[in-house]
């Protein structure tokens, strides 16, 4: 039986640092690398990125939508990205933001968490906004396969507060998501396998972020989030944070050495931010 995702993640970040590069093959990035916006261009882009980034990253975050837009050939590229990253020793968080109920949720969980699936990742992003009960198939699959989940909680996109800050049963929707994650992670050591997505550009929050699980913080770098923002937002939960950026890293390509240097610099910055906290 494999170790739980939380334990594997903590070992990986201790060894390689907490920064989580995103692999988002936007058409504009493909063109910036001198590639066509085609399945062939996608494959060259994605596999170059993985070859450069996976050996120096604890965890990578491919965004599935940018592969899906190329149809079946794009999905084949995504399968290769998952395999190549694992071969290089990196964990993979597949950014798919799935959310549904019953057998459909179970099918999504089987697709992305069952190790027998060609699309299986170490963890996946999930939307809990159909109610926390709706994510139970994902939780069960993650537990069975030693995988992880990252539930959307406090994203920074415009209009997110209409849902996340809405109040029900005495607290906010975001607060209920975070509380549910804390319960799932209770007693897990060194860290639980059920994480939250909390944007690095939300400004501030009064929600309780100490969930004993990983906290994915997208938005650092090109989207405006800084190390100072991460320290202010997460405070005592800093040891559990995975700062994440796509454009900040991928914009350094296509030369593999520059891509690798971008990740190493980011890791150095956030390891210094953690200081002796961990």
Distant-in-sequence contacts of 187-190, Cβ < 8 A, 24+ apart: 188/4, 188/6, 188/212, 188/213, 190/6, 190/7, 190/10
Nearest of 164, 265, 162 to residue 220 by alpha carbon: 265
Q: Spot the catalytic one: 26, 80, 97, 143.
A: 97
CA distances to 38, 40, 47, 70, 249 from 43, rounded to whole Å, are 9, 5, 6, 10, 18
User: Could you give the count of Cα atoms lying within 13 Å of 7 in the half-sphere of its Cβ?
Assistant: 9
Nearest of 11, 94, 15, 21 to residue 51 by alpha carbon: 21
Q: Active site includes 61?
A: no
Provide the annotated active-site residues.
97
């Amino acid at each position: 039986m494999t170790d739980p995702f939380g334990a594997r993640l903590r070992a990986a970040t201790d060894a390689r640092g907490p920064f989580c590069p995103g692999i988002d093959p936007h058409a504009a990035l493909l063109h910036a690398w001198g590639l066509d916006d085609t399945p062939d261009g996608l494959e060259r882009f994605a596999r170059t990125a993985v070859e450069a980034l996976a050996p120096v990253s604890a965890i990578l975050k491919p965004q599935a939508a940018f592969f899906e837009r190329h149809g079946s050939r794009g999905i084949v590229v995504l399968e290769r990205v998952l395999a190549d990253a694992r071969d290089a020793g990196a964990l993979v968080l597949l950014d798919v933001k799935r959310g549904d109920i019953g057998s459909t949720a179970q099918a999504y969980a089987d697709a992305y968490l069952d190790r027998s699936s060609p699309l299986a990742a170490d963890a996946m992003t999930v939307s809990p906004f159909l109610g926390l009960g709706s994510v139970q198939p994902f939780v069960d699959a993650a537990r069975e396969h030693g995988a992880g989940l990252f539930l959307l909680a406090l994203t920074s996109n415009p209009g997110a507060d209409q849902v996340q800050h809405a109040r029900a049963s005495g607290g906010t929707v975001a607060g209920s998501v975070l509380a549910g994650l804390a319960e799932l992670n209770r007693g897990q050591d060194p860290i639980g396998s059920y994480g939250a997505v909390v944007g690095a550009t939300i400004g501030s929050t009064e929600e309780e972020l100490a969930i004993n699980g990983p906290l994915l913080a997208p938005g650092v770098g090109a989207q405006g989030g800084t190390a100072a923002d991460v320290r202010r937002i997460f405070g005592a939960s800093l040891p559990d944070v995975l700062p994440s950026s796509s454009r900040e890293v991928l914009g350094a390509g296509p030369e593999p050495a520059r891509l690798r240097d971008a990740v190493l610099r980011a890791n150095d910055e956030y390891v210094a931010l953690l200081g002796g906290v961990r």
